[in-house]
């Protein structure tokens, strides 16, 4: 059985208490765990794991069930337990095996709602990333045409990206990736929520306009830190 540790788990703003996301290659996929099923359905971990073993072959018709060793909550000895990750189809099938008690019925509705909300959010993100590609190209062209790329000896694109991320999110792009468990070679943009993508895009448009108007990096940094109203006081190139 595969170990889910090779994928990256994210529990930042995009995730819910019940449904998480992880990166599988270049894709973000929602999932839940047997631990969360036990918690939200108010069923014992032992009963959930028994159902998992009994129906594993059926569940794996919808993909390999992956496991991760995680600390047992409340354990004082550092005991670790095996926790299964279930994708949306697997989780939907699994809940049919649970007895239909009032807590389980509430859990089923919550699970359907949270998977739908997560899929909707991921769709928004994909759309916004596509819409943002021309904005990124315009920023890249503006940095090149302004002469900043030559002045910064090839570091201008990273420098401006980090300036934009810090202004939009309070962290540089590498800091965002580290905080969200992304690989070093991953792109920070792939780990942003739809609201964060919109905020970053607005800052990119502003920086592009300022570069086109002849503002230097130092002036743009002052504007982003102090607000657009400070633009008249900022020094141009």
Residue 91: give the domain boundaries: 4-99
Among 99, 132, 148, which residue terminates a domain? 99
Specify the 3-state DSSP secondary structure of 185: coil
Tokens 């743009």, located at residue: 220
Tokens 């009032």, located at residue: 102
The bridge status of strand 80-87 relative to strand 66-71 is antiparallel
Q: How far apart are CA 109 and CA 102, in angstroms?
A: 11
Q: What is the pLDDT of residues 154-179, one digit of tens each?
A: 899 999 999 999 999 999 999 998 88
| CB 97, CB 51: distance < 8 Å | yes
Domain co-membership, 139 together with 71: no
Q: What is the pLDDT of residues 89-143, one digit of tens each?
A: 999 999 999 999 999 999 999 999 999 999 998 899 889 989 899 999 999 999 9
Q: In the prediction, which pLDDT does 75 show? A: 67
CA torsion, points 25, 29, 35, 38, in degrees to nearest 10?
A: -160
Residue 68 included in any domain: yes
Residue 111 included in any domain: no
Q: How far apart are CA 182 and CA 202, in angstroms?
A: 24
């Amino acid at each position: 059985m595969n170990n889910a540790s090779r994928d990256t788990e994210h529990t930042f703003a995009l995730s819910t208490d019940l449904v998480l996301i992880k990166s599988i290659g270049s894709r973000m996929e929602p999932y839940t765990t047997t631990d969360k099923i036990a918690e939200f359905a108010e069923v014992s971990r032992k009963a959930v794991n028994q159902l998992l073993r009994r129906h594993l072959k059926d569940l794996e018709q919808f993909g390999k069930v992956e496991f991760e060793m995680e600390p047992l909550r409340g354990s004082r000895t550092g005991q670790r337990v095996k926790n299964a990750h279930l994708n949306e189809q697997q989780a939907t099938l699994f809940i049919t095996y649970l007895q239909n008690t009032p807590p389980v019925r509430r859990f089923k509705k919550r699970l359907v709602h949270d998977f739908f909300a997560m899929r909707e959010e991921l769709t928004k993100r994909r759309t916004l990333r596509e819409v943002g590609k021309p904005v990124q190209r315009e920023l890249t062209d503006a940095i090149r045409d302004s002469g900043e790329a030559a002045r910064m000896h090839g570091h201008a694109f990273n420098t401006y990206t980090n300036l934009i991320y810090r202004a939009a999110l309070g962290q540089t792009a590498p800091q965002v990736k580290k905080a969200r468990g992304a690989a070093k070679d991953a792109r920070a943009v792939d780990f942003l929520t739809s609201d964060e993508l919109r905020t970053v895009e607005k800052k990119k448009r502003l920086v592009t306009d300022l570069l086109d108007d002849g503002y230097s990096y130092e002036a743009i940094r002052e504007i982003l830190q102090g607000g657009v109203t400070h633009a008249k006081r900022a020094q141009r190139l």
